[in-house]
Amino acid sequence: MKKITASLLVFILTALLVIPAAMAAQGTSPVVGELQSSASFRSQPSTSSTVYKYFKKGENVVILEETNAYWYKVQDVYGKIGYVSSSDKYIDIIYNATIAASVNFRTSASTDGSKIRLLNKGESVLITGKPSSAWYAVTDSTGKKGYVSTQEQYITTGPAFSMPTGTVSAPSTPSTPAAPTQSATIEKIIAAGMKYWGTPYEFGSDRDTTTTFDCSDFVRTAFREGASVTLPSDSRKQGDYVKAKGSVKTDWHQLKRGDLMFFMDYKGAKASSYAGINKATETITHVGIYLGNGQILHTYSTESGGVRTSDIAGTQWDYRFLFGGSAL
């Protein structure tokens, strides 16, 4: 379990100030989650909703509710409320209860259990199970595991998310999990790409490493890691691959999140630089992943900082665009 650093302590104290009044009125403790990898922060619990921003790995949020089996309603440190995937690949609950009054922290779920130490009022802990009505299994801020009384005078819990009972081991994985939907697969591809944010650009990068990328190597890696799909190794062949999958769009506004975008060579920063060019005969020189909301995830030069997102409208990416479509 993560130790309480100064920055995390500030976040928790801030959370206590900005959590909704309903939570405060109920006397519940803020549930703090930590991002395990980059994830989209959305306006609604849907992959088609507006993306406010992308959380980075290590960021903390207050989890307000478990909206459904796939989404948490969360609040960031600035007080903005939205939704994030509840998959443990993206977010992990690190604290879900607060000690209300000093209480014994014991080695077993019994008053006969040896006392590890006294948990002090205001400490944050993670409840990992409830072996009986009288005891919680908890982990403290140092990672020490033990048991504490469930009496409300000693501990204040957060919203009742899926709480394990009896044994504290993780629930078993179903033997035949349902196949992910295409939208879920797209989110995995984008998350796989976002984790390489800032990875340096190198033309003709080694396809067997992830220390540097060129544009097609980056896209190929995101699809391989996020969807177990192996795309061709260069952008032109990737364009042929997408065309073979079905219809493509020559207006990038018609693309869907996760579609690949293909571009011609750079001629200039202004629209006039591309006037009169027959794009149907142009050669593909660049590829990226469309994120929706007019943004692309890609890498194109050392000077730009490697893997990054860029706005499309009114930029070279708007003028250089040839076509796009799904690779799934």
Domains 6-95 and 97-157 share a fold: yes
Output the CA torsion sign for 320, 184, 219, 304: positive
pLDDT given at position 143: 84
The answer to whether the CB of 47 falls within 8 A of the CB of 183 is yes
If phi over 0 gives left and psi between -120 and 50 gives alpha, with beta otherwise, what is residue 172? beta
- Bridging pattern class, strands 124-132 and 321-325: unpaired
pLDDT, position 159: 61
CATH of 97-157, one of 1.25.40.10, 2.30.30.40, 2.70.70.10, 1.10.3720.10: 2.30.30.40
Q: For the residues of 135-165, what is the DSSP string, one character each?
A: EEEEE-TTS-EEEEE--TTTEEE-S--S--B
Please tell me the distance from the alpha carbon of residue 69 to that of residue 73, in angstroms, as a whole number: 12
Which CATH number is 182-325 given?
Answer: 3.90.1720.10
What residue spans define the domains of the chain? 6-95, 97-157, 182-325
Per-residue pLDDT of the chain (328 residues; tens, 9 = 90+): 455 454 554 445 444 444 444 444 445 566 888 888 888 999 998 888 888 888 888 888 888 888 888 889 988 877 789 999 988 888 888 877 888 899 999 999 999 999 999 999 888 888 888 888 889 888 887 888 999 999 989 988 866 554 444 433 333 334 444 445 677 889 889 888 888 888 899 999 998 889 999 999 999 999 999 899 999 999 999 999 999 988 899 999 999 999 999 999 999 999 999 999 999 999 999 999 999 889 999 999 988 889 999 999 999 999 999 999 999 9
Q: Is 7 helix (H, G, I), strand (E, B) or coil?
A: helix
User: What architecture is the 6-95 domain classified under in CATH?
Assistant: Roll (2.30)
